[in-house]
């Protein structure tokens, strides 16, 4: 069972340890944001009925999730979900006969006994030899399983790359278009502000000219009226004198 297989790799090191290890399953780090993705085509096929052509089935839409803030912690950590997927791929491709996987099981069984690593590895190998295993067989099969894991890694990276294009790159392009639209609107606003400033200057100049013209008209009117009054008064006075002196 997958649970028993997981115990070969997880329990012997402990989940709380953060020390580096040569075992790719122990120091596997993944981005927390990628937890929204379906990490393996094998796993996804089991979830989607084997329809590998459906991207929506392979990867749950990130847009449906609540957007994370840019300050979210993206530090990787051991994931049970990914562990099941990777170990499931190893189990699916397990070769018949005694190889690295069976040797690992022997090591795990001997770990329950109080013995040094050297003794444990040698004792497990002694049991392996009785099953026809050799050192070369065990190490070569370990390389085989590393290849299986690497294939799963490549599948996962392809899915991540696809989702990055759909969910990040496309949105980034859209956000850049928004910035361009903002810049365009800002230019329009600046032009309008410049136009308004010019119109205000024109208005102030026109208002000043109106005041000057108004003053000129008023002065001209007053000059006329004064001149008119002078002539009128003289003529009226002359008429009065004519009537008085000419009988």
pLDDT tens digit sequence for 128-152: 999 999 999 999 999 999 999 999 9
Is 192 within the bounds of a domain?
Answer: no
Helix (H, G, I), strand (E, B) or coil at 239: helix
Best CA proximity match to 102, nearest among 130, 128, 134: 128
Percentage of residues of the chain with pLDDT beyond 70:
74
pLDDT, position 13: 43
Is 233 within the bounds of a domain?
Answer: no
Residue 230 has pLDDT above 50, yes or no: yes
Cα 90 to Cα 20, 27, 34, distances in angstroms: 22, 17, 22
Q: What phi-psi label fits residue 14: left (phi over 0), alpha (psi between -120 and 50 degrees) or beta?
A: left
Of residues 23 and 166, the one with the higher pLDDT is 166
Q: Record the pTM.
A: 0.50
Summarised one tens digit per residue, pLDDT across range 12-70 is 444 433 333 444 433 333 333 334 333 433 444 443 344 443 344 334 433 444 445 45
Is 17 within the bounds of a domain?
Answer: yes
| Mean predicted lDDT score pLDDT of the chain | 78
Is 220 within the bounds of a domain?
Answer: no
Domains identified in the chain, total number: 1
pLDDT, position 70: 54
Question: Which residue range forms the structural domain that includes residue 142?
Answer: 2-184
Cα 51 to Cα 44, 56, 90, 152, distances in angstroms: 9, 10, 22, 17
Is 128 within the bounds of a domain?
Answer: yes
- For residues 148-168, give the mean pLDDT: 90
Is 80 within the bounds of a domain?
Answer: yes
Instruction: Assign 202 a pLDDT band (cuts: 50, 70, 90).
Output: very high
């Amino acid at each position: 069972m997958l649970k028993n297989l997981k115990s070969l790799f997880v329990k012997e090191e402990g989940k709380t340890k953060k020390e580096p290890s040569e075992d790719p399953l122990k120091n596997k780090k993944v981005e927390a944001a990628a937890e929204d993705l379906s990490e393996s085509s094998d796993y996804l096929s089991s979830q989607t009925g084997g329809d590998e052509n459906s991207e929506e089935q392979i990867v749950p839409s990130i847009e449906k999730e609540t957007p994370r803030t840019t300050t979210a912690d993206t530090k990787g950590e051991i994931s049970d979900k990914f562990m099941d997927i990777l170990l499931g791929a190893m189990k699916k491709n397990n070769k018949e006969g005694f190889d690295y996987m069976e040797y690992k099981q022997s090591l795990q069984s001997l770990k329950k006994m109080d013995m040094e690593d050297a003794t444990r590895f040698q004792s497990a190998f002694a049991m392996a030899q009785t099953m026809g295993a050799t050192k070369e067989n065990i190490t070569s099969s370990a390389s085989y399983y590393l290849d299986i894991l690497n294939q799963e890694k490549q599948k996962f990276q392809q899915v991540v790359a696809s989702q990055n294009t759909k969910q990040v790159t496309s949105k980034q392009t859209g956000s850049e278009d928004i910035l361009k639209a903002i810049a365009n609107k800002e230019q329009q606003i600046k032009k309008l502000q410049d136009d308004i400033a010019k119109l205000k200057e024109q208005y102030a100049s026109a208002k000043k000219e109106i005041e000057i013209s108004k003053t000129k008209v008023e002065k001209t009117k007053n000059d006329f009226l004064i001149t008119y009054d002078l002539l009128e008064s003289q003529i009226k006075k002359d008429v009065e004198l004519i009537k008085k002196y000419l009988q």
